[in-house]
């Protein structure tokens, strides 16, 4: 029974990671589309429209980072790790959290 639960949690962590990847790809494609539209469109308010495309992409990245952190935490719970591996995963989660924080600040600066 425990093995089944661990496998379900492991698969859920994989699903969360895959969803994060999909969000990054979706955000990149959406940003590229908006940039092409800006380039083909008129020159009025071009900077503002670029900033809007950038903000949308950053929001998708932040959301994806949240999914990656959740997946890492679930993976940590499922797989008993050595102390060294625990530090590596903790470092990765810390870096992703800090990156998410600074990206959030960037988004809030562009809203003003």
CA neighbor of 63 nearest in space, from 108, 14, 23: 23
pLDDT of residue 111: 61
Tens of pLDDT, residue by residue over 36-90, are 998 888 778 888 888 888 888 989 999 999 899 889 888 887 776 778 878 888 8
Query: Range of 54's domain?
Result: 2-111
Tens of pLDDT, residue by residue over 1-30, are 778 888 888 899 999 999 999 999 999 999
Q: What is the tally of structural domains in the chain? A: 1
9 or 107: which carries more pLDDT confidence? Answer: 9
CA neighbor of 31 nearest in space, from 59, 63, 57, 50: 57
pLDDT of residue 110: 63
């Amino acid at each position: 029974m425990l093995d089944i639960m661990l496998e379900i949690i492991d698969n859920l962590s994989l699903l969360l990671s895959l969803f994060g990847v999909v969000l990054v790809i979706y955000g990149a494609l959406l940003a590229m589309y908006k940039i092409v539209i800006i380039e083909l469109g008129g020159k009025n308010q071009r900077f503002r429209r670029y900033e809007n495309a950038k903000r949308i992409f950053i929001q998708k990245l932040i959301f994806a980072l949240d999914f990656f952190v959740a997946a890492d935490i679930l993976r940590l719970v499922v797989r008993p790790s050595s102390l060294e591996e625990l530090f590596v995963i903790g470092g990765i989660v810390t870096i992703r959290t800090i990156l998410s924080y600074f990206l959030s600040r960037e988004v809030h600066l562009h809203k003003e």
